[in-house]
Structure 1
Amino acid sequence: MVSAIQEQRDIILDTIKSITRGDWKVLVIDESSKKIIDNVVKEDDILNENIANIERIEEKREMNPGMDAIYILSPQPHIVDCLMADFERRRYRKTFLVWTALLDPQMRRRIDTSRQAKEQLAGFETLSIDYFPRESHLITFRDPWSFPILYHPACNNLVRDHMQILAQKITGICVSLGEYPKVRYYRPRSPRHEASVLCGHLARFVQEELDAYAQWNQNFPPPASRPQGVLVITDRSMDLIAPLIHEFTYQAMAHDLLPIKDGEKVYYKTVVNEGRADQQEKEMEIGEKDKIWVENRHRHMKDTIEKLMGDFQKFIDENPHFTNSEADATSLNAIKDMLAGLPQFQEMKEAYSLHLNMAQECMNIFQHHKLPDIASVEQSLATGLDEDFRKPKNIADQVVRLLDDENIGPSDRLRLIMLYIIFRNGIISEDIQRLLAHASLPPQEGEAIANLELLGAQITKALKDPRTTAQPLFPPKTAPTAQSEEYALSRYEPMLKLMLEDIAKGALDQITFPYTVPPLDNSEELAAQSQASLRSAKPTWAKNRTSTVENRQRIIVFMAGGATFSESRACYEVSTSRGRDVFLATSHMLTPALYVRQVGDLSRDRRRLDLPVDRPKPKAPAHLFERNDPRPAAMPSGPGPRQNPGLGLPSGGRLPKIPGVPSPPGKSPRYDYSANPYDTPPTVPPTAGLAALSMNSGSGRPTTTNGTNGNDGGSKGKLEKKNKYAKDDGTEKKKRGFFSSKK
């Protein structure tokens, strides 16, 4: 099965290998590119590719004019400043430039017009690796600030540039996977919030990026025997319940209940060698290298504990001389005691201790905080049906009873209130205050509840308004599937899973999930019925087991605003059950606590959000421009390679292309956006330009209201439109935000 981690790792190492070709070189990276590389590649693997040293461009370095350097850099203004300082100092002999993402045309021209750069450049390449594979089929951008930028009313002026950055990152994922997919997006049936057009605009941006990449890279997509992939752009408003409900699969439950440190790596602090003289508290990494974690993370907690105990019992049976024959291996505590006596198997012991401790702690919280009672009501609110798949009765009384229970924590009470209001499709304001009073929550918690309206929920309604029920996005399952009480608390299925199942069946509604470019045929539906190739004419009888795996259609889902671990699990489940490779990409992973906090922040003053775009811009360190170092040695004698005056690159100096990962051109009209996505955006909301986007245009290009194409008339690819705010007297009406529409 294909892995996003392995794909990105291969791209990085193949690029380095194609440049070194057996010659020793220095690798220069920056803070951002280092995070991308460290996420998938070990330092030793890089050094083994004839890399003499790895240096940070922002740090003080020795002059090394006798050795060539490979720069793998992020396209940020201050990093370009650092690079130009190196060119001016002639810090290295020849320079091979590799960018993690597309370089802004203005910064590219700065390099092209530099005499020092022309003399030292030996290659220029752009990779599409500006993302972070977290699991084999889970990719994040490590950008929790994306949520407020997309949904906070005060961030409207940031939305357009942020969408452009998101579109380039999503395109990078598609390029890395060798996919030129059909693009679909979520369009709410009855939108009531400004951001309801978010997915449509973002999908159009992605389509533009993909088309531009394919236009300038004739070998994209690379030949493949699998059906054409599908990219679905959706956002958090498609499922407001998944981030609130209690999940009882191992990964989701652990991230919800335990103090897991989730950053560049995922750590959990536990006690190893408990009860012994060498007992210590240790932070242990949880990731793809942890086989126990990978094997059990999507299992229900009940099954996880049984599997852990069963695996340990199997080890005991195979190694009887390590244990007391009278020891009991049927309880978690007994197993933990037995593990303490196995110093010969330290790594295995620590791994089992970690997960046994995590499982035990989850179950303690499960019992002490009455999660079974909470989950039973949550499932009825989320599905609209009780455990017998009937309309729930006295649900309000059940909610109030739980809110009054002292054993239930404040965060669980707030989540329960949110779920109840979503279930009721809004209640009167006085009832919200009564629920908060029952829950003993301060009135300011009502802001988080009210802010759900910014994501499309109806929160309040008048007393005389008729009671309405929100139409479910997908028909609810009415046949009982619960096998026991434990599984009855996991009846709710994320909307993402139901969407993926419809895609696999070729039955996804084209009104709610339209295409950016409507297909000319029903090939997607045919692909859903058969895994026969759309790109080759190989006879189906020639397939073998390996080719069947390679021919699996790839579905990429981007969830704007953050995704949950239950949605990640759903992607793996559909991959297995439907014979597809489903990849989930998102800005960041959401836990219930983070989600509630971010929703609450949507009413805070923007200045208190500490958005990266509002911080002082990073600058190149001053030491790079100091001239205390001795003058570098003269360049080796002899004629150098002939220069290309057009791009400032040596003849034939482009790096060898990686199979399946072609690089975009340095500059093209479709990529020549006037706004620098890394500069502070203008304060004027960009509504006018984006309102001109035709969401159902088959051309895949923006059009303006006067009928001209957005690239005509010297517009250089900008989105233009007549000023719709102008009055007859020449003044301007009040401007709406990015997502505004006429009421």
Structure 2
Amino acid sequence: MMQMKRTQTTLSPFKVLEDYFERMLQQVSGIKCLVLDVETTPIISLIFSQSKILKKDVYLIERIEMPSDGKMQHLKAIYFIRPTEENLKLLQKEIEKPRFAEYYIFYSNSVPNLTIESLAQIDTNDYIKEIHEVYADYYCLSRDLFSINILNTFGLTKEYTSWGQLDNQILQRTYEGLLSLLLSLKRIPMIKYLSSSEPCFHIASKLTKKLRDERDNNKSQLGADTKTLLLIWDRREDPITPLLNQWTYQAMLHELIGINNNRVDIERKMRAFNEANYSSKEEQMEKEFVVSDHDDQFYCDNMYENFGALADNIRNLIESYQTEQQRNKKMDTLADLQNAVNNLPELKKKSTNLNKHVTLSSEVTKLIEEQRVMAISQVEQEISSKEARNDQAKMVFDILNNPDIPKYQKLKLVVLYALRYENDDKIGRMKEELRKNQVSQDKLNYVNYAIEYAGKAKRSGDIFNTKNLGIRLLNNLKSAVKDVPNLFAQHKPYIMNIINQIGEGTLKESEFTTTDLHSFREKPNEIIIFIVGGATYEEAQHIGTMNRDKYTNILLGGTYVHNSQTFMSEIASIGKERKEEFGMNNSQANSFR
């Protein structure tokens, strides 16, 4: 078995994966079929478009669990799959009755020796020519963000002794994804983890053992001299950030429409919110768009911009396109005609891109108005960034009494208030108001579930600065003097405080334990933050802006990338489990209106 060689790199997983896939498709000559599984399909599609794959002499792309009929002895098969038992069984079945002339197996992570031996026993006619480990077992969403794409990790918040088979599988998949990232980047990091979090401890322990074995056995040329810090953190330390409405382009798209592996599906959102009024005219419009910072320069430049700046930049993009279009219509000479023909592909590309961003921004604008996001967001920012219990309670009641504001936004606001002021007697009155708004008891329970999931007793950090009176007064003062455009940008994710502590060397060992894999006293040159329970695009925006403006080298990852709907769904898992404990049926809501 061979491991694909990796060149030294900075924290740029996209470049690493692009290099992996480029060589994977090129080193197998001739016409071939690319076979993927349910996870490697989106993993490779985040890096290579289908058209780019087809340019590598790939005649056919299929899924391992849905093989096509008939033999194709003129094709070589490239299998890019995860090293799972299910995939092994499907591959063994394929080799027993081979459809292709040759097989090249690329596993997305480390492969047990038993897997190799079992394949060798079946492959009596040497159809399998090569087996590789490529360490591409994670989802690279942008230059600053990666994910393991596990939607619900609620089970990991239980006592370790209460974990079931699924919980252990989720922990194992999380560990495998992080291991793959580190091996692909060739890093032996100093590993710190949140001391109070059991899942963080178990992931850190498994990584430490495996990476120590890799280093000691010299299986990989892993560098420990890069001064890389891996910090494993728990989403429960900051349940506020995933609940907030957003005002930067990428984060707004995810909160209001939803981004799934860099794809935005407007049709799905339309149907979810207004099935009855979904018109045939809307069916004719383009419904799904790819938003990626590596092949869309406008998106790359504007993904972290606020909505006001985005509107100006889209206006400039329209004017630029119109100017170029007019220039291309000038055909006084043969040279003009030749230039017009040469410019057509680029002009078409710009037209498609312009249509995408105009459509997406128009949909976002419509949803902001429909859901009264500005009114809600102002109260959210007040609650999340400063302490003013009575004033904020009045704001919440005003929202609850406004018939134009959707029930989901009202419920979310009460959850936010309850997380800040857990024992406030006004929470009961707020729940009564929600009940008057026809919010069901199942949904009302989310308020209690949120406290049970990530309340004060579950958090070790000081997310609201309640322990430091000086900082709290300073935050209130800053909030009071902010100008109107910043009313929607008062909140800063708590992870940024942790990053600042790392930079200042004030991170407490009592809160963050260091494993015995690797250690250094100096300020880290590179930081990988991984959040068990999911990251957010707001956190990615703050880290990405810091990387750009302060030339830091920080990479953010999470088991998932949440918006408020998916995070509320995770919180609701508490109720689902409780009903299952008592033998009751439960249909958990994954969408809200």
Is 1:187 equivalent to 2:185 in the alignment?
no
Contact 2:136 2:180 in 1 (8 A): yes
Question: Residue 595 of structure 1 is aligned with which of 526, 544, 567?
Answer: 567
Equivalent in the alignment of 1:233: 232
Query: In the alignment, is residue 97 of structure 1 matched against residue 97 of structure 2?
Result: no
**Which residue of structure 2 lines up, in the alignment, with residue 192 of structure 1?**
none
Matched, 1:10 2:10: no
- Which one of the candidate residues 395, 407, 411 is aligned to 1:410? 407
Contact 1:267 1:285 (C-alpha < 8 Å) held by counterparts: yes
Q: Report the CA distance between 1:417 and its aligned residue.
A: 0.6
Letter in 2 for 1:262: N
User: Alignment partner for residue 377 of structure 1, among 369, 376, 379?
Assistant: 379
AA aligned opposite 2:155: I
Do residues 83 (structure 1) and 91 (structure 2) align?
yes
Q: Distance in 2 between matches of 1:316 and 1:24?
A: 42
Q: 1:123 aligns with which of 125, 130, 139?
A: 130
Report the equivalent of 2:307. Answer: 301
Give 1:344 deviation, angstroms: 10
Aligned to 1:500: 499
Contact in 2 for aligned 1:380/1:392 (Cα 8 Å): no
Residues 222 and 473 of structure 1, relative CA distance in 2, 3 Å threshold:
farther
Equivalent residue for 1:40, pick from 47, 71, 75: 47
Secondary structure of the residue that 1:11 maps to in structure 2?
Answer: helix
Moved more, 598-607 or 571-580: 598-607
Equivalence for 1:281:
285
Larger deviation, residues 395-404 vs 68-77: 68-77
Are the equivalent residues in 2 in contact too, given 1:27–1:53 (CA < 8 A)?
yes
For the 8 Å contact 1:561–1:588, the answer to whether it is kept is yes
- 2:242 is paired with a residue of what secondary structure? coil
Pairing 1:577–2:549 present: yes
Q: Which residue identity is paired with 2:373?
A: L
CA distances 1:53-99 after superposition (whole Å, capped 9, x unpaired): 55554414544568764433322323222322333335555543321
Structure 2: segments with no counterpart, 5+ residues:
1-9, 271-280, 330-343, 459-463, 589-593
Q: State the alpha-carbon separation in 2 of the partners of residues 424 and 77 from structure 1.
A: 47
Change (3 A) 1:402 1:608: closer
State the alpha-carbon separation in 1 of the partners of residues 419 and 11 from structure 2: 38
CA contact (8 A) 2:30 2:76 kept: no
Question: Secondary structure of the residue that 1:96 maps to in structure 2?
Answer: strand
* Aligned 8 A contact 2:188 2:224 in 1: no
Residue pairs, 1:537-686, within 5 angstroms: 553-604=525-576, 605=579
User: How do residues 106-117 of structure 1 correspond to structure 2 at under 5 angstroms?
Assistant: 106-112=114-120, 114=121, 116-117=123-124
Q: Is the 8 A contact 2:149 2:559 kept in 1?
A: yes
- The one-letter amino acid paired with 1:142 is N
| Alignment match, 1:441 | 439
Q: Please name the residue that 1:200 is paired with.
A: 201
Measure how far apart 1:299 and its partner are: 0.9
Q: Which moved more, 1:1-10 or 1:495-504?
A: 1-10
Residue 514 of structure 1 aligns to a residue in which SS?
strand
Q: Partner of 2:277 in structure 1?
A: none
Shift in CA distance, 71/349, structure 1 to aligned 2, threshold 3 Å? closer
Report SS of the residue matched to 1:501: helix
- Deviation of residue 298 (structure 1)? 0.9
TM-score (norm 2): 0.78
> One-letter code of the match for 2:454?
G
Given that 2:106 and 2:133 are in contact with CA atoms closer than 8 Å, whether structure 1 keeps it comes out as: yes
Cα pair 1:148 1:155 within 8 Å, conserved: no
**Contact conserved, 2:81 with 2:108, CA < 8 A, in 1?**
yes
Higher mean C-alpha displacement, 150-159 vs 571-580: 150-159
* Residue aligned with 2:140, SS: strand
Aligned sequence identity (%): 17
Distance 1:176 1:103 in 2: 15
Quote the offset at 1:177 in angstroms.
1.7
Offset of 1:588 from its aligned partner?
1.9
SS in 1 for 2:285: strand
Cα shift readout 1:527-582 (whole Å, capped 9, x = no counterpart):
4xxxxxxxxxxxxxxxxxxxxxxxxx332111111221101112202212332222
Residue correspondence of structure 1 range 226-375 to structure 2 within 5 A: 227-257=226-256, 259-260=257-258, 262=260, 265-268=263-266, 280-288=284-292, 289-315=295-321, 345-367=347-369, 369-375=371-377
Stretch deviating more after TM superposition (131-140 or 260-269): 260-269
Q: Deviation of residue 595 (structure 1)?
A: 1.5
Structure 1 or 2: more helix by fraction: 2
TM-score, with length taken from structure 1: 0.64
Structure 2 CA distance for partners of 1:370 and 1:105, relative to 1, 3 Å: same
State the distance in 2 between where 1:514 and 1:360 align: 47
CA distance in 1, matches of 2:367, 2:53: 44
Which residue number corresponds to residue 646 of structure 1? none
- Retained in 2: the 8 A contact 1:413–1:439? no
Contact 2:190/2:520, CA 8 A, preserved across alignment: no
Deviations 1:243-268 (A, max 9, x none): 112221122223222x3463573333
Report the CA distance between 1:47 and its aligned residue. 5.4
Are 1:131 and 1:139, in contact at CA under 8 Å, matched by a contact in 2?
A: yes
CA shift in 2, pair 1:162/1:284, >3 Å: closer
8 Å Cα contact 1:73-1:98 kept in structure 2: yes
In structure 2, do the counterparts of structure 1 residues 424 and 90 end up closer, same or farther at CA, with 3 Å as the change threshold?
A: closer
8 Å CA contact retained: 2:79, 2:104? yes
Q: CA deviation at 1:197?
A: 2.3
Map 1:383-402 → 2, pairs under 5 A: 383-385=385-387, 391=388, 393-402=390-399
The match for 1:215 is 216
Once the two structures are TM-superposed, the CA of residue 458 in structure 1 deviates from its matched residue by 4.6
| Cα offset, 1:437, TM superposition | 3.8
Letter in 2 for 1:444: D
Paired residues of 2:193 and 2:204 also in contact (CA < 8 A) = yes
Shift of 1:493: 0.2
Q: How big is each residue's C-alpha offset from its partner over 1:503-537, in whole Å with a ceiling of 9 and x where there is no partner?
A: 233333332222123865412x3x4xxxxxxxxxx
- Whether contact under 8 Å (1:501, 1:574) holds in the other structure is no
Determine which structure has more spread, i.e. the larger CA radius of gyration.
1
3-state secondary structure, aligned to 1:585: strand
> Whose RCO is larger (CA < 8 A, sep 6+)?
1
Q: Deviation per CA, 1:593-622, whole angstroms, max 9, x where unpaired? A: 222122123211558679xxxxxxxxxxxx
- 1:188-228: CA deviation from partner (whole Å, max 9, x where unpaired): 5xxxxxxx42222222222223223333444421597xx32
Question: Quick one: distance in 1 between partners of 2:103 and 2:283?
Answer: 51
Given residue 144 of structure 2, which amino acid in structure 1 is its aligned partner? H
CA distance in 2, matches of 1:52, 1:372: 50
Gaps in structure 1 of 5+ consecutive residues: 189-195, 272-276, 324-341, 386-390, 461-467, 528-552, 611-743
> Residue 170 of structure 2 corresponds to which residue in structure 1?
162
Aligned mates of 1:343, 1:32 — CA distance in 2: 33
Q: In 1, are the aligned partners of 2:262 and 2:291 still within 8 Å (CA)?
A: no
Distance 1:13 1:251 in 2: 28
Equivalent pairs, count:
534
Change (3 A) 1:267 1:6: farther
Equivalent residue number for residue 145 of structure 2: 138
CA distance in structure 2 between the partners assigned to 1:443 and 1:278 by the alignment:
35
Change (3 A) 1:472 1:199: farther
Alpha-carbon offset, residue 438 of structure 1: 5.8
Partner amino acid, structure 2, of 1:419: L
The 1:365/1:215 distance shift into structure 2, 3 A limit, reads same
Q: Distance in 2 between matches of 1:279 and 1:24?
A: 37
One-letter amino acid matched to 1:301: F
